[in-house]
Structure 1
């Protein structure tokens, strides 16, 4: 369950009559527990509570229902309970149906409330559903509650008005929802001069069955689009009850005032939503949640879109806010410096070309207003109005509803900041009517001209259709100059790897990259935003920072994208290396991302942020950050088909393309050999990444050409060979069909070993401290899910098993999320190895032997068992540490201090290695020409 669903379930529970016996189970069900788990608790099988009336769920919560007035004592008993500690409960909760108290045991934080008020505290308990508790939700759950109510209303209205769900009318429906959000907020913040005016009017003037609710609301909306001095002559005349509503304008209530028809249930949902305290809405949170209400595909993930303020500030702080705060500190109480900073801030534009519901823009606005307020405080002018216009916060959003919500979120943020920094009276005096200037564009950011949406020397835009909520695309005519202003581009664009891009999205990238590189099809979709930002930066005083999948700074995408960006004169000015971009999804499911900022070269120190093992942020200042987000030399690692030295040749394993007919499980092998013992000569062990790492047993048929006739004399082998022939001949893949001519063999055979095979999984977990590699006997067939070096000198294993190699491939190879996706041409052939003496090779061979011997001691433990970072055997860890020490002394004469130092040295050696190879090639060609 997601946060919104949990809020709805908790609200339903609190609304129902209290049932003491049923409460613990209904409570746990509200947080997503399955019926089977609850059944076991009911029967007592899994309930080890030692408190009367208690229900204890291991690793989760200890609940007790008590007699009236005994809640505090019961909570104390739960806290002291040995069963609570033994079951490692995270929370304790006690209630008598009138009051409720709960405590998070790790932090010691508590809540105490009326039982009916539990929905207002559900955010405190979200960890019970495996959802990371974000402070803003924990402290103020109104945003989730409001989203829940509006989602129910939205679904009910579409059910009653199916025509409003059509593509032709979806915009009308979304616009109606935006009007509702405004009305709920306005009635709770004195904008309507009468608290609860909208909800109360709808309740009083509409029928309980909802039959005329739409007519009442249409009249209210019409009133808010008529100026007060024009209402006397309005036709039809406004009823007295509608005349109480102020003139709003700004395009929010212009055009059609049509409202979808309401049912009794829809009217109930509307009144419940209006009953919330919308004064507490956080526009940065609420906007990101409500955008999912109107999106069929996203509604299933409702409430999972919120990104925490600290994560957004990882982008905004180093992009420009840190600099503003530093200038504020430097200014002190100097009036001239403070006024200059205020003037500078008034000309700053923040531009999010994938703005969604406006999170980044809202946070940027609120942060800047906070700095401006401190300037005013130091100047002794706290009542001074803001010089930071909303029109300086520009955005592009593909879908119309999030674009509307972004505008509305900024309007709400402006009003809340005015109330906070200037007072309610001044805020209200200037709020209505709404300004009709438009600053959020609805369109495809990769097709629009960013210079038109956010021009370099202008601030305002001329009114278009007098409508804040229209979406003009041509904004080249501006109102007044903004010479010398700065533009900061930011956001979290859609990532989408090449496999998942639609034809339209591929066409977007083609329009940007096709004339620049023939390899653009391999790029993630987010690369388009980086390229557009780089181009924009060549014509403006701008810097850009985007959240992105880490894959654009790894592997094959680096040599495609980054030379193009660097070629525009942009450099990476700051970056956050890989971390989880968490949201409100279940189990804190976030994608692994980087943050990368680019700007024209300015000579300033670059800032590189990384995460320590304990979660702390580490900052390093450097002269240059390369495309792999490493400080040091400017280098792009390109695939190398063959290594420059005498290390072993690493190849893909063998690819069967057989429909499973040449492969056998252990049971199938035993059955085959039991029925046909002579088949033993054709069966070999088959090892892919899963088999090698997890210790699983699989086999394959390995039949040489000259053995085919003997093999087909065995009925089961003949059946399998014929099945392979049919599968390949029927294949849709053109490259597979010719292989039907030799169905007894794998489609692609690389090599086989005479002595042994050094094997390495193509995909492996990043959680291990070392890459899973090993040595297998020569009669083992290696799958295409592995890489192999056949009959390699054993010192090769020492290189691959080292921390140095782990760090290198984690940087230059592609990652799938955070998992390593190895590449022989990018990971092995490019790995810089210094010239090794015979003694070096002998020492490394000994290290490799010691690693293998340490593993043997723990037979039959698998690679997965042995390299579990929390349970790695000491003798094996010691063997690896000895290997690292021997190898690193060969590189620099001592152990490296950390991975950063390792990477800096490796990139330095890579540069020398490739430079030497480039010089050697012309010399070789010249020698060859002379001889001929």
Structure 2
């Protein structure tokens, strides 16, 4: 479930007659708990509550329904309950059907109030659905409620008006929804100069069956598109004539409205009865944009961008500098005036703006600074000099583009009310300005300079006015001479494997003039490249949210030399963090914020999350493409380890058509029934077998034993199957292997070695890379890597946090999982020269890890390395391993992963430089620099 669905469910629950016996289960169901789990709780099998009338859901909540007037006493009992502690409940809740009280046990934060009002606190309770609490929603749930009401209305209208769901009418439908949103907001903020004028008019003058609702709305919309002086000739009814003239493109053009049903009219009135004065344009756009998207409606409300995350982009991009200038100005009126003039000439451009979140936040923060300037100068009465047209965007879909402009209009009005007062704000609000700088189109195909041209120039722009008539080559006279331009946003992430043909073509259009090697790049790379190209013509700084994959693995070598080639460098970065949304139990995507500029500051900042969760800020003279301090080094695959480490290779590949591979039962039958020598049947492990504990076997016959093996008819038949499969292949190399059908297609071990096995792919949720030691005789498949007869201290290196951070950076990831590479991850791993004592200490650490695992036999690697249930002795063994290794590197534990990477890249640069000096020139391995 998502936040919108949860809010709707608990709102419905609050309206139903209170049922003391059923309430706890209905409440839990509203937060997405499955019927099977609730059935077990009802039966009492899993209900371990020790409070009268209590229901206890482990790791979630302890609820109790009590007698009238006993809510406070019952909540105290829940708090003191041993069962609450034992079940690790995060919340407690008590109600008598008249009042309700709840407490989040971790923070001690509480809610209390009348029972019918508890849905107002649904944001407080969202963690029950696995959704991280978002402050804006926790404090003010109106945005989620409005989204839910409008979604129901939208779906009902499309059901009744199927023609409006077709491509040729969908834009009209979306435009109609934007008009409704404006009306709801306007009637609750005195813009319509009357209490709930819009909703009351519809309620009073439309029939209850909804049959004439469209006529009422059409008349209202026509009135708001007609100047007061021209209305006499139109003959408006008095109830329509009381609406003000709005225009600004919002009500121009067709005023046709879809037909309403009784239910659609009810949904409209329910939406209007919300208090839209509390709408927060910071987040409302993200909540509402999925309403008009068939593919996204199922995940309604998920695409939420929190203000703190937006500020991770905007603050270091330019807001921090503005605030610093404000602090430096103090009360100096000249300096304050200069800063105000600077604010008026700053343009913020989001070329993937969606519903305008970044633009709205940028506008509000700049108005905040401007208001403080006016306060210090004694000019708080002045209007704003920051024009909305300086906040520009591109959005592919029409409805989010409309909402973006509407959100900016609402933000402007709210700022005027806040800083100038309601009277002045209302006096200047209507009619709306017809200018529109939110362009609907494909950002990777449009010319950004035509939308946000160099400052101080006259340009001609042909773009659609999303609220009405088109701009027909309107000449724009800019007043931004000497102004600044900042590009920001959260472009789409699509990886190379998930891109459509059209998206591939978009990237080709962007990169074709730079390189032919672009097909492996993420879709977001197109925005970075276009921003860099844009910055060569119009001096601008850029910061985008991106999947961290563009700063990892092989994409680094493809993308970043091109960006550096335009004269841009990384000016700041926020290293990997979770960008969670409002979906239930959603882990979110791992992202980074990357800022680029052709004129970065002398000191650049790297923001990162420390191991204890705090944010660490590092200042450095350079930031490389891996988002660590240092020069623009690109890590290249190496044929052998840089340091004195054991060689790592793929395991052996059967290429056998399945004839050399067996399950356990087949292997036992071969030995017991068919008389196969047990030495010819070996354990066979790849990544899946090692991690999940799956048992497989393989036939392993060395050349010396071939005659003995072929004496066995069962083995001879298996070899014949291999021969026929290889001979029938269309590949010559496979045909050549038909002459040795007893052997794997690729053999990388004798079969008598010990092996350190390293999975080729491992879940990102694991804190440590699950390397293991296999006994002699085990065969490693080509779906894993192996070090044969390697000293055990190698395992300590691979199992370390240092190595996990390294491979996560230089190898990249498959989806969100770690993707290992021996040539790029292991062979490049920089390890200082180890003494014999160092090796002995690391060997002991590896042995401790193995012993800790053995103590929990038969638990699998997947079981043992689940971060939620990892045994404490195993966790301690790994922590000890990290401490020993990191002290070898720097004499102490690293503070966080950024510091780990900084040391690793520094050591890598030194080692590759030293290695290059010792090799002949023809064989020199160069370190690429962008």
CA distance in 1, matches of 2:43, 2:682: 52
CA distance in 1, matches of 2:882, 2:106: 36
Distance of aligned partners of 1:361 and 1:678 in 2 relative to their CA distance in 1, 3 Å threshold:
same
1:328-367 map, 5 Å: 328-367=326-365
Q: TM-score, normalised by structure 2?
A: 0.91
1:718-737 map, 5 Å: 718=717, 722=721
Partner of 1:199: 199
From 268, 271, 294, the counterpart of 1:270: 268
Partner of 2:639: 641
**Shift, 1:922, TM fit:** 5.1
Partner of 2:230: 230
**Shift, 1:305, TM fit:** 1.2
**Shift, 1:834, TM fit:** 5.2
**Shift, 1:433, TM fit:** 0.8
Q: Is the 8 A contact 1:866 1:872 kept in 2?
A: no
Partner of 1:844: 839
Residues 1:412 and 2:413 aligned together: no
Partner of 1:884: 885
CA distance in 1, matches of 2:895, 2:36: 52
Residues 1:114 and 2:114 aligned together: yes
Q: Deviations over 1:763-813 (max 9, x none)?
A: 234565654334434532212221123344556445444554344323322
Q: Is the 8 A contact 1:679 1:714 kept in 2?
A: no
Residues 1:448 and 2:446 aligned together: yes
Partner of 1:930: none
CA distance in 1, matches of 2:252, 2:374: 37
CA distance in 2, matches of 1:151, 1:399: 17
What SS does the aligned partner of 1:108 have?
coil
Q: Deviations over 1:559-578 (max 9, x none)?
A: 11111111111111111111
Which stretch has the larger CA shift, 446-455 or 664-673? 664-673
CA distance in 2, matches of 1:6, 1:875: 40
Q: Deviations over 1:271-297 (max 9, x none)?
A: 111111111001121110110111111
Which stretch has the larger CA shift, 610-619 or 874-883? 874-883
From 580, 583, 605, the counterpart of 1:582: 580
Partner of 1:86: 86
Residues 1:157 and 2:157 aligned together: yes
1:361-510 map, 5 Å: 361-458=359-456, 467=465, 469=467, 477-510=475-508
Q: Is the 8 A contact 2:453 2:459 kept in 1?
A: no
Distance of aligned partners of 1:913 and 1:261 in 2 relative to their CA distance in 1, 3 Å threshold:
same
The gaps in structure 2 that reach 5 residues or longer are 925-930
CA distance in 1, matches of 2:355, 2:689: 46
Residues 1:314 and 2:312 aligned together: yes
1:491-890 map, 5 Å: 491-643=489-641, 647-656=645-654, 662-678=660-676, 680-702=678-700, 707=706, 714=713, 718=717, 722=721, 746-752=744-750, 755-765=753-763, 770-792=768-790, 796-797=794-795, 799-802=797-800, 804-816=802-814, 819-833=817-831, 840=835, 844=839, 847-848=842-843, 851-852=846-847, 855-856=850-851, 859=854, 861=857, 871-873=872-874, 876-877=877-878, 880=881, 884=885, 889=888
CA distance in 1, matches of 2:830, 2:210: 74
Distance of aligned partners of 1:38 and 1:893 in 2 relative to their CA distance in 1, 3 Å threshold:
closer
CA distance in 1, matches of 2:467, 2:458: 16
Q: Deviations over 1:31-90 (max 9, x none)?
A: 112222222222222223333333232322222333444433433343344433333332
**Shift, 1:417, TM fit:** 0.8
What SS does the aligned partner of 1:209 have?
coil
What SS does the aligned partner of 1:337 have?
helix
Q: Is the 8 A contact 1:453 1:476 kept in 2?
A: no
Which stretch has the larger CA shift, 15-24 or 292-301? 15-24
CA distance in 2, matches of 1:893, 1:20: 62
Q: Deviations over 1:388-447 (max 9, x none)?
A: 111111111111111111111111111111111111111111111110101101111111
Q: Deviations over 1:672-705 (max 9, x none)?
A: 4333231634421111123334444221233568
What SS does the aligned partner of 1:545 have?
strand
**Shift, 1:585, TM fit:** 1.8
CA distance in 1, matches of 2:719, 2:12: 59
1:223-262 map, 5 Å: 223-234=223-234, 237-262=235-260
Distance of aligned partners of 1:89 and 1:21 in 2 relative to their CA distance in 1, 3 Å threshold:
same
Partner of 2:183: 183
**Shift, 1:899, TM fit:** 5.2
Which stretch has the larger CA shift, 679-688 or 237-246? 679-688
Which stretch has the larger CA shift, 636-645 or 400-409? 636-645
What SS does the aligned partner of 1:214 have?
helix
What SS does the aligned partner of 1:325 have?
helix
Q: Deviations over 1:495-552 (max 9, x none)?
A: 1110101111111111122332232111111111111111111222311111111111
What SS does the aligned partner of 2:606 have?
strand
In the alignment of these two chains, the number of paired residues is 917
What SS does the aligned partner of 2:649 have?
strand
Q: TM-score, normalised by structure 1?
A: 0.91
CA distance in 1, matches of 2:612, 2:848: 33
Q: Deviations over 1:464-488 (max 9, x none)?
A: 7994525969989422231111111
- Calculate the aligned-residue CA RMSD, in Å: 3.2
**Shift, 1:649, TM fit:** 3.3
CA distance in 1, matches of 2:631, 2:353: 34
Partner of 1:138: 138
Partner of 1:294: 292
Q: Deviations over 1:161-214 (max 9, x none)?
A: 111111111111111111111111111111111121111111111111111111
Q: Is the 8 A contact 1:437 1:468 kept in 2?
A: no
Distance of aligned partners of 1:95 and 1:727 in 2 relative to their CA distance in 1, 3 Å threshold:
farther
Partner of 1:219: 219
